[in-house]
Amino acid sequence: MADLLVPYSIPYICQFATPELVHDFVHGKRDPRTDPRWLEYGAISPQEYAHWAWRSCGVVCVKMAVDGITGQPSGPVMDWVRAGLMLDGYLTELRPDRPDKPVEKGWKHLALAQLAIERGCWAELAGDLTLADLARIIQTGKVIIASVSAELGEDGPLTRRSGHLVVVWGVELKGRDVTHVIIHNPSGRTTALQAGARIPAVRFMQGFSGRGIIIGPHAAWPREGNMKIPADG
């Protein structure tokens, strides 16, 4: 077995201020408004923090990628949330039967790519990615923000392929075959499923939509045009 990794360190950032409490937050055992570290998020109140902690996986993934690629730690998560909102990056849709209650769809991939570009990186949207594509992209020194099921943050069954975003920054190889995908999951419920989580390749593909955002150093290669890709939380 051998690891294929990007040539720089990608810092881990949790979408909740206290990583040790993610399991309790997700499973309703504790209200995020009681997070003792909420102020570190850059929010103006526990209520603002709790609202966006549930919805920040996209901007947190971009922040992890950009901080690692540029080597320049950036501001708190709420700074990224606000910057994304300035780009109209969070998608909501109105339902004819409930015009008073917009349906939240999540972060627009194009806006997340633009956030990375504005902070000195190269970014492009991609679709129909395979395990071989992930390995090739990693080998060229770029990370993938992958659209996956949030269920990858636990050890249970996978019933979806999108709705959440993670940073793919390495793969484990046996010969030329990818056996594990190495990710930072901003909402992993346990330590093992947060920073540097090694997800078996078969399981990863079961929960992967094939869509993603490729991010690398500035001017990594000529831009090829952006695809219109659905949003994720």
Nearest Cα neighbor of 181 from 56, 63, 5 is 5
User: Residue 178 contacts by C-beta under 8 Å, 6 or more apart in sequence?
Assistant: 131, 132, 134, 135, 171, 172, 201
- pLDDT score at 221: 46
For each of the domains in the chain, give its residue range(s) and CATH number, in order of start.
2-217 (3.90.70.10)
In this predicted structure, what is the pLDDT of residue 224? 43
Instruction: Return the pLDDT at 218.
Output: 83
Report pLDDT for 92: 78
Decide: 226 and 113 in contact? Cβ < 8 Å.
yes
List, for the chain, all residue ranges whose pLDDT scores fall below the cut of 50: 221-229
pLDDT the model gives residue 104: 74
Whole-Å CA distances, 177 to 104, 116, 171, 212: 38, 30, 10, 21
204 CB-side CA count, 13 A: 29
